[in-house]
Structure 1
Amino acid sequence: MASISFAEMQVLLDAISEPATLIGLDYRILATNRAYRAVYVTASTSAESLLQQTCYAVSHGYDQPCDLAGEACPLRRCQETGQRQRVLHQHQTPRGEEHVDVELSPVLSEQGEILAYLEVLHRVREAAASAGASEGLVGRSPAFQQMLALMRRAAPSDISVLLLGETGTGKELVARALHDASPRARKPFVTVECSGLPETLFESELFGHEKGAFTGALSRKKGLVEAAHGGTLFLDEIGEIPLSQQVKLLRLIETGTYRSVGGMEPQHASFRLICATHRKLEEAVKQGRFRADLYYRISAFPIHLPSLAERREDLSLLAQTLLRRLPGGEQVQLGASALTYLERYNFPGNIRELRNLLERGILLTDDGVIEAKHLFQPDVSVEAAKMDDLLSEAVGQVLPLDQLEQHYLKALLHHFDGDRRELAVRLGVSERTLYRKLARLA
């Protein structure tokens, strides 16, 4: 290491505003900057105690490198490629676990040999990895981290982002997080609810109108595009925009200009576009219900938002967080029976449905503990209890599978909101097979 001056490196580290470290080839921390020490030094530790510890011990509490513990290790990848690496991790800090966007770069000698690694930790303030955050995204499952990593990649740029996922997965929260992590964060974030916008008002709401433009236009009205100037325009449920209006949106995106209703002069638009839909737009394009040119304009960077079924590891964390955010839920806990039932539940409405169930539970509990009986309608709770009893009985004396299936279908029919075709798809059987099984219940 004679080719590198650590005094000079310390000065360079302190010039970095985010937490940063210099890491040796053996994973040991050689130097830290002020921002790093502000995060990891506590009353029981010291700056000196961090030195010579391994990066994986300080950040994760591991006794071996990240890649040997089942995680992506940017240092190992940096060793293999000699190139800068970036990965999203969960780090242990005195405040608890936090999402961190880790950026690792090799420090080279004059001969091009790797002397050490510069690690910069970009703390993800838009998402929490533990309960307690008063707002924003919460999660720690692999599916959530994959979505968050893509969001972090897209946020600093002006690329158009298309958020895809089932209803109730938190698309507006992700859109807001994208805005908050972007250079436009200090500018407006404007949401357009496309599904609730009548075709006759679409142009006026989006582009505004001039006084006297039509009957009832008594004064000039600023449109949502103008309101979002310099910031982010979020088009929620863009798949609901009528085909006749899609060409006007396409023109806005392609030219960056628009005219208000009744206006003569073109106006310049400056905004970052984020769109969201629960529909499969590619199928809508094939069916002629959505313009192909508009689809390719808005889908430059698609991000899939996982359903609650895809991130069940986050269920307890989400429930705790929602209880703290809901009125009256601060002192309420989730009982064991409630958590067990929720873990078995299908959640067609995703996080929005979980929130609704917890709101119901808060109102029905008298002792501050939400149990399964507080979450669902009485008949559904009875069926759930019957299923629990039946499963216990089946384990004890081995009931026939046919009998178990019939009881399961009866319970399922009480709280499944979709049609029979959707139910067949979710059960993994043909619609004809499902009808045959249901006929036996009569």
Structure 2
Amino acid sequence: MDVIASDSSSFDGLASMLEGYDCPAILVSVDYRILAINQHYRDEFGDVPLQQSKRCFEVSHGYSVPCDEAGEDCPLSATLQSGRKERVLHIHQTPRGKEHVDVEMLPIHDSQGQLLFFVELLRSVSVASVQDSSKKLVGSSKSFNRMLEKITRVSHSDASVLLLGESGSGKELVAHAVHQGGHRASNSMVTLECAGLTDSLFESELFGHVKGSFTGAHSNRVGLVELANGGTLFLDEIGDVPLSMQVKLLRLIETGAFRPVGSSTVKHTNFRLICATHKNLAQMVKAGEFRQDLYYRINVYPIHVPSLRERQDDLVLLTNTLLKRISQRKEYHLTDSAMQVLKQHDFPGNIRELSNILNRAILLTDTNLIERSTIQECLEIDRELDPLIDTSSAFQPLSITDAGEGREWLDLKTAEKRYLSELMAFHHDDKEQVAKVAGISLRSLYRKLE
């Protein structure tokens, strides 16, 4: 491909054209120089001294070399290679600090096909943060950014999304991010936890029921699919949907039609479907445990939600964020040695396990500084509660000799009861919060408390 320098007539016209975009836009030369910016860019990212011929990677990232030479994807380089527009998710320097930005690079050619300029469109990603955030996804690792790029691509459509990832990796937060990034964000996102539901309970929860349709149906109940009308329906652990119910779910997805249990009236609903599972649905299809037609209906746009092991670069950020979410009244910090213990842990329970550990640490510490020994004690609790779970880390488990001759070893039931009692006291009997911290359903919590 031939690449030539810009000429003044083309430059003037394109510089004016930038104001026609409804997002921040810059005009870039083939050698990375920023030639013009629009008002949206000034409002969101600040002014750029054009007379200094600043290069895009200097302004957006503070790099001294192009992005691809600094270990990141470069949309300009990708466009040069492909000859067409390219799209990349980057972390940019902004007046508010580092932020995720969706970058689209458009090549501008002359009538002979020679490359003149690039128009770079920048759209901030509001559903995620590179810094501590109480309500957003947080992360900056490569695996996190790959996931976030897929979220930004699919959010504005109505395509069905299938979230694939280990338990505790944050699939529900990702589902909320997909919902919030789309045009249905002003309407509700309704969640159904499919694990542990019988056929009748699943049908009643999903479609609702009329009074007298079965024993205990003392009044009419609106189903979740009706509540999700205009918004998003999130089916968590879709792999646990009873096989006999999958055909009814398939019909709902394909037609939007359903009947409440015990009713002859057909109703209609319109929702965006997001499903999540930690299971291998393809293998379940081969084994006859999951319908193939349903699998292809929900697997329109799969997104891999990385495990915490794949996001080691995000561990410090996630830890600081979770500490702020857990305790809004008092600020806690980990010592460097305590953080080293966490970095050497495998986290089979992923972010949910990290949250549990930090909750315990806050209960066990007497100051706002969480020491290495406290984190070690928190990890030791996991070994006592469930020795079948591999929670290996850099330090060896405490033996009875290590702990002292007076160490009291609790049976599993007593240890669990004490743990839940402490959580209930800490969260002022807020059962929904306790269930979330403990990593169990609200139904399971009630059962254990009884």
TM-score with structure 1 setting the length: 0.82
Instruction: Tell which deviates more after alignment, 47-56 or 276-285.
Output: 47-56
Cα distance in structure 2, aligned partners of 1:289 and 1:71: 41
**2:397 is aligned with 1:411:** yes
- After TM superposition, give the deviation of residue 12 of structure 1 in Å: 2.8
Cα distance in structure 2, aligned partners of 1:263 and 1:360: 48
Residue matched to 1:435:
none
Cα distance in structure 1, aligned partners of 2:158 and 2:189: 14
Code of the aligned partner of 1:259: R
Cα distance in structure 2, aligned partners of 1:358 and 1:50: 51
- After TM superposition, give the deviation of residue 76 of structure 1 in Å: 1.4
Residue matched to 1:322:
322
**2:282 is aligned with 1:296:** no
Contact preservation (8 Å) 1:357, 1:376: no
Residue matched to 2:246:
246
Pick the aligned partner of 2:28 from 13, 20, 23.
23
Cα distance in structure 1, aligned partners of 2:88 and 2:158: 21
Contact preservation (8 Å) 1:204, 1:223: yes
Q: What number of residue pairs does the alignment pair up? A: 386
Task: Label 1:412 to 1:108 Cα distance change in 2 as closer, same or farther (>3 A).
Answer: farther
Residue matched to 2:189:
189
Task: Label 1:164 to 1:215 Cα distance change in 2 as closer, same or farther (>3 A).
Answer: same
Residue matched to 1:418:
none
Task: Label 1:16 to 1:379 Cα distance change in 2 as closer, same or farther (>3 A).
Answer: closer
Which deviations, in whole Å up to 9, do the C-alpha atoms of 1:288-326 show, x marking residues without a partner? 221222112111211111111111111111001111221
Residue matched to 2:129:
128
Cα distance in structure 2, aligned partners of 1:267 and 1:113: 57
Matched residue SS, 2:49? helix
Contact preservation (8 Å) 2:341, 2:375: no
Cα distance in structure 2, aligned partners of 1:237 and 1:284: 13
Cα distance in structure 1, aligned partners of 2:334 and 2:85: 44
Q: How does 1:90-105 map to 2 (within 5 A)?
A: 90-105=91-106
Cα distance in structure 2, aligned partners of 1:258 and 1:2: 62
**2:273 is aligned with 1:287:** no
- After TM superposition, give the deviation of residue 378 of structure 1 in Å: 7.3
Residue matched to 1:146:
146
Q: How does 1:184-263 map to 2 (within 5 A)?
A: 184-263=184-263
Contact preservation (8 Å) 1:31, 1:51: no
Which deviations, in whole Å up to 9, do the C-alpha atoms of 1:90-129 show, x marking residues without a partner? 1111221111110010122233322211100111111111
Contact preservation (8 Å) 1:323, 1:330: no
Q: How does 1:354-433 map to 2 (within 5 A)?
A: 354-377=354-377, 380=380, 411=397
- After TM superposition, give the deviation of residue 240 of structure 1 in Å: 1.1
Matched residue SS, 2:118? strand
Code of the aligned partner of 1:39: E
Contact preservation (8 Å) 1:103, 1:120: yes
Code of the aligned partner of 2:34: I
Matched residue SS, 2:134? coil
Contact preservation (8 Å) 2:361, 2:378: no
Instruction: Tell which deviates more after alignment, 312-321 or 364-373.
Output: 364-373
Which deviations, in whole Å up to 9, do the C-alpha atoms of 1:19-70 show, x marking residues without a partner? 11011111100111112112332xxxx5435762000100111111111222
Task: Label 1:85 to 1:412 Cα distance change in 2 as closer, same or farther (>3 A).
Answer: farther
Instruction: Tell which deviates more after alignment, 8-17 or 194-203.
Output: 8-17
Cα distance in structure 2, aligned partners of 1:161 and 1:330: 38
Matched residue SS, 1:312? helix
Matched residue SS, 2:98? strand
Cα distance in structure 1, aligned partners of 2:210 and 2:283: 38
Cα distance in structure 1, aligned partners of 2:329 and 2:294: 43
Residue matched to 1:422:
none
Which deviations, in whole Å up to 9, do the C-alpha atoms of 1:272-297 show, x marking residues without a partner? 11000111112222222212221121
Contact preservation (8 Å) 1:88, 1:145: yes
Matched residue SS, 1:195? coil
- Structure 2, unaligned runs of 5 or more: 1-5, 384-392, 401-450
Task: Label 1:379 to 1:234 Cα distance change in 2 as closer, same or farther (>3 A).
Answer: closer
Matched residue SS, 2:195? helix
Matched residue SS, 1:111? coil
Which deviations, in whole Å up to 9, do the C-alpha atoms of 1:359-395 show, x marking residues without a partner? 12122222311112223437939x9xxxxxxxxxxxx
Matched residue SS, 1:167? coil
Matched residue SS, 1:168? coil
Code of the aligned partner of 2:254: E
Task: Label 1:69 to 1:214 Cα distance change in 2 as closer, same or farther (>3 A).
Answer: same
Task: Label 1:328 to 1:413 Cα distance change in 2 as closer, same or farther (>3 A).
Answer: farther
Matched residue SS, 2:99? strand
Task: Label 1:413 to 1:298 Cα distance change in 2 as closer, same or farther (>3 A).
Answer: farther
Matched residue SS, 1:411? coil
